[in-house]
Structure 1
């Protein structure tokens, strides 16, 4: 890629940036393809093949080539997430600011879709911690909920709200991640079409939007809580200038994150407040463009601070017993209903859920168990993928590779069965969804909206 292929004035705008080397940058975009990397799900250990480890993320790995994820059952089971390696640096930041996990925390991923950073945060949390993943764009919420459902945990709430809606939740979150909408220059190598959308005017517009988002969310961060800010932009206005604005406008102090020289990450400081930031340049790191920083809040936002809420649904005991029979540790969960659907969330998050329900538009809370039809529970797809299910009592049917593809396409499954009733359909011990086993057939209940649509002519390699 020649220098003149980049948008006008783009390279000139980066000339004075710390660590920027124009020839290395141009060569990386011209001669190097974007690496494929995945992050393993620590809650679902598998035999997924991996390559070199991403240095700043224990569960992250580079692949030698890009396989067909569509036809890998372990991908659909949630055993790993396909994520750009630089983005995994958020894991290193979270582990740095939280060396002691004894105290439960509440974490917000404000701009969460499609869910890469949400599943990354979730991997670092425990059941006693709560993750709220928010996405304002309604059409992007389904992919976010699908990815979090595949991850399997029950300590997650998904919302679809404007950041200003969170301003009423004073001092609620211990960690807030704002992976802000940006001009996208860090994705030029991965998505060359982004070059046609880049302009200096758009950079300035993004800067203004980022300030508005951060100002809106600031009250929801608790005193001594951490704000993690990131973009996939190289522009100073969207990165170091935002850090200066944050430290000047609010009582935030910079947090320096330890890095190793061999990682290739460029450490910077904002010009006025000397806030630490971390730049990722292709050619210097094995990854795409990223900027990340961490700040700590040193004041308490004034306003509401009492979040006690003991609202409790009155639920039929017999129905609860039916639902509990599907759960491995039913006493660990708070059960509730939304319309006819039964759901479960870790018991310690009951008050938070009830409170958030009063302020926000909730799209997913915990795990959807299913709905009762007479004496029978019709189990939900979320339950199949979850870590809640009692696999000792729930019927399970193992599938080979060919049968799995049939199942994921919602085709008829070529298999003989002797059992009857609801069964988990599994591959290498990992659940993919439900089927109803009948004396003369199998009813495939894999959700039609996420089924494999393409035609398979041969089995491509998988990770």
Structure 2
């Protein structure tokens, strides 16, 4: 491997350069996390990631592109160390009432899909990404995951100052120097510098300072990086304790996991490091902190007579659209698109649309012409009613469907159906005698040869 910069991590707790070099001569482990709301036959009897209820290690990396279950959101390909967010959330976020959770730097969506799997139906997850192209990828992955209580925004962290005291929990997987991922990208070593670490540390403080007003008093912050540098990890925790009046929380770990518990230089605040020679995963850091001051806001919105009147006017449409779901919904429309949200979350729609650039809210159902022209989001929803017609495809048929080709054209099907593979929705098709129109969005299609 490329040689390490000299004295890069002399201050990193329990750093072992010889062990680091040996670990980086081995291939990184391959891991996935199953979607508990889309049960499937994916990866039976695999070794489990010990700190994640749904995480699995694979013996080798398959072609995920050629697995219909991947496209249907039955699992997410995620680095194992980062699944430790699950422990932080489960141990320290109170479930006494419906939660509002913000994943501030969420693309491509690994940690957001993990958080979504930990939430109840009446909880709300807002997944944000400031870079527009990455926000689009985030939308795709959250659509595959299929939950109605996950929204996607495309905002700068400072914009969340408009939501003062609103969120019960916040995940900040901060942009960093990336040294924890060098095993996957050796060339990145040559791009590393101490000045870049300092730049990242300053950016992390700015992001946190901008966004933390949105975390309510006694709310929980999960801070994470994929860096080994103390300046981006333990020193940021010290800064949060000193400048942001936060208290670091301890996470219980099984010693067999190989997680290194650390304490910050100034306040001896808890942090958790993953080293690839000790834990089965890549380099990762996480800390959990509770906010000691601030506001508590239960709502961003006050209902109005005009909005109540519109809700009454849409009652017929509400009844028609409810038939597509196995759970209660409320509707709203933006331009021609009809969206379904959990009834608890309808109150947030107007205020959030006014304050944030929303890329996805609830489940996009489709547009109404003579009939509903259904949206891809609806086909992949975990809330899709059993009465919605489905056509089960073989693996070969599913792959051709995912290449946006016609399938099952001679079986006499008629009308709209969800194409499925092993019970997992892949998208919509409209069948006519001896013809099928494939409504898979172009940007979701498989481009490689089968």
TM-score by length of 1: 0.93
Indicate if the aligned counterparts of 2:11 and 2:230 stay in contact, CA closer than 8 A. no
The equivalent of 1:52 in structure 2 is: 47
Which residue, 375, 383, 390 being the options, matches 2:385? 390
Matches within 5 A, 1:315-354: 315-329=313-327, 332-354=328-350
- In 2 relative to 1, CA 364–306 (structure 1 residues): closer, same or farther, beyond 3 Å? closer
Say which of 363, 373, 396 aligns to 2:369. Answer: 373
Does residue 8 (structure 1) correspond to residue 2 (structure 2)? The answer is: no
Alpha-carbon distance between aligned partners in 2 of 1:6 and 1:339, rounded to the nearest angstrom? 55
Would the aligned equivalents of 1:404 and 1:427 in 2 still touch at CA under 8 Å? yes
Give CA-to-partner distance per residue, 1:301-360, whole Å, 9 cap, x none.
49x87634225345544433332232223xx21100010010011010112232222211
Partner of 1:148: 142
Q: How far apart are residue 414 of structure 1 and its match? A: 4.5
SS in 1 for 2:253: coil
Counterpart residue number, 2:287: 293
User: How far is 1:35 from its partner?
Assistant: 0.8
For the 8 Å contact 2:166–2:299, the answer to whether it is kept is no
Runs (4 or more) in structure 1 with deviation over 6 Å come to none
Q: Is the 8 A contact 1:134 1:159 kept in 2?
A: yes
1:391 shift after superposition: 2.1
| Partner residue in 1 for 2:59 | 64
Partner of 1:307: 300
What does residue 203 of structure 2 align with?
A: 209
Q: What is the DSSP-based 3-state SS (H/G/I as helix, E as strand, rest coil) of the residue aligned with 1:81? A: strand
State the partner residue of 1:109: 103
Match of 2:18 in 1: 23
Structure 2 residue matching 1:121: 3-state secondary structure? helix
Q: Distance in 2 between matches of 1:316 and 1:301?
A: 36
CA distance in 2 between partners of 1:368 and 1:46 (Å): 24
Cα deviation, 1:183-242, whole Å, max 9, x if unaligned, reads 000000012222122111100000010000000011111111001100000001100110
For the 8 Å contact 2:116–2:125, the answer to whether it is kept is yes
Q: Map of 1:110-125 to 2, 5 A cutoff? A: 110-125=104-119
1:131 to 125, 140, 143: 125
Distance 1:305 1:400 in 2: 48
* Structure 2: distance between partners of 1:54 and 1:123: 16
CA contact (8 A) 1:403 1:415 kept: no
Please give the residue correspondences for 1:218-257 in structure 2 after superposition, counting only pairs within 5 Å: 218-257=212-251
- Given the superposition, is the C-alpha separation of residues 305 and 445 from structure 1 closer, same or farther in structure 2, using an over 3 Å criterion? closer
Equivalent residue, structure 2, for 1:364 = 360
Give unpaired runs (5+ residues) of structure 1: 457-463
Structure 2, unaligned stretches of length 5 or more? none
- Are the aligned partners of 1:240 and 1:271 in contact in 2 as well (CA < 8 Å)? yes
Cα separation, 2, equivalents of 1:328 and 1:263: 39
- Whole-Å Cα distance in 2 between the matches of residues 109 and 296 of structure 1? 16
Partner Cα distance (1:17, 1:327) in 2: 51
Question: Deviation at 1:154?
Answer: 0.4
Q: Distance in 1 between matches of 2:171 and 2:106?
A: 9
